[in-house]
């Protein structure tokens, strides 16, 4: 249960980090997405969104593999 909570928390932390970057940062993915949206550079906008999606998927896959390693008594299909 703790590792399931960690998975949820990492996803929420990623979303909050990007949201804060949209509002208050000088550099980062959120700022890049915001400037690309303002200047109609759609390829940069979608590139930033794809990077964010890849980070989320990567974090989830890493934590799934970690759960299989740390919780060997639970079948992988239930994770």
Whether 43 contacts 35, CB under 8 Å: no
Chain segment 28-60, per-residue pLDDT in tens: 888 999 999 999 999 999 999 999 999 999 999
Whether 10 contacts 64, CB under 8 Å: no
Number of domains making up the chain: 1
- Provide CB contacts within 8 A for 70, sequence distance 6+: 3
Model pTM? 0.78
Q: What is the mean pLDDT of the chain?
A: 88
- Domain region containing 67: 2-78
């Amino acid at each position: 249960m703790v590792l399931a909570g960690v998975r949820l928390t990492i996803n929420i932390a990623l979303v909050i980090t990007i949201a804060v970057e949209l509002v208050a940062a000088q550099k980062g993915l959120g700022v890049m997405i915001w400037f690309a949206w303002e200047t109609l550079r759609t390829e940069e906008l979608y590139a930033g969104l794809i990077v964010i999606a890849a980070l989320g998927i990567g974090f989830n896959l890493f934590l799934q593999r970690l759960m299989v390693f740390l919780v060997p008594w639970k079948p992988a299909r239930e994770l």
